[in-house]
Amino acid sequence: MAKPIEIYRLLLKRFGFLNWWPGETSFEVLVGAILTQQTSWKNVEKAIASLKKEQCLSLECLASINIKSLEKLIRPSGYYKQKARRLKDICSSIKDEYGSIDKLFSLDAQALRKKLLSYKGIGNETADSIVLYAANKPIFVIDAYTKRIMRRINKMPIDISYDSLQEYFEKNVKRDLELYKDMHAQFVELGKSYCKTIPLCDNCPANNICAYYESARSAKQARHA
């Protein structure tokens, strides 16, 4: 079974340091993490650009803006009616309870995660993305790419839970903010570029340690024997 750090080093060698997640401020990262659910980052960028153009990328504006106006601004992100309501409600709750995003982010990682999960529309992956990339606190983000990659490389169970896979990474990877950020980004890049639903194994940077690739190669050799 390949160690996470071993996988990471292979990806880093291929992709280089990725410096991800995009966002000029912590608040922008939080908004992006909410808007990126069920859509591409390209669409999120359009929505964020609209918010910036209207000078509404702030806790105060999003808490007070008319819901119809917000729907129009974030329409490119998809599911805009649902996202507008959730984004406005989350910002209103943060403003009422904490007064500022900095005050919210002053909570320790687990307390912050618990608070974020209490907001409707924020699940495990979104909460952890906000903790890691917006609040700059080390917590490992699990997404669909990570699950798929670990299932193929290390034969992780297909039904492994979010919490179990997160615990695996946090037990086996040094607790380091920048390492957690870049490792997650590397897994996303691998999932997008090679470890797709239909994988492109031949040029994958991790194929020499991948159980799935080895099994597929053995089966191919057997067919041609």
Mean pLDDT within 10-23 = 94
- Residues 26-134, CATH architecture: Orthogonal Bundle (1.10)
CATH 1.10.1670.10 placement within the chain: 4-17+141-223
- CA-nearest of 218, 195, 221, 217 to 206 is 195
Helix spans in 16-73 (H): 26-35, 41-53, 59-64, 67-73
Distance CA 129, CA 135 (A): 9
Model pLDDT for residues 123-166, shown as the tens digit of each residue: 999 999 999 999 999 999 999 999 999 999 999 999 999 999 99
Model pLDDT for residues 76-118, shown as the tens digit of each residue: 999 999 999 999 999 999 999 999 999 999 999 999 999 999 9
What's the distance, CA 66 to chain centroid?
29
CATH 1.10.340.30 placement within the chain: 26-134
Distance CA 95, CA 88 (A): 10
Q: What is the pTM of this model?
A: 0.94
Distance CA 183, CA 197 (A): 20
Model pLDDT for residues 186-210, shown as the tens digit of each residue: 999 999 999 999 999 999 999 999 9
Q: Does domain 4-17+141-223 have CATH number 3.30.70.120?
A: no
Q: Where are the beta strands (DSSP E) in 83-179?
A: none
What's the confidence (pLDDT) of residue 225?
Answer: 58
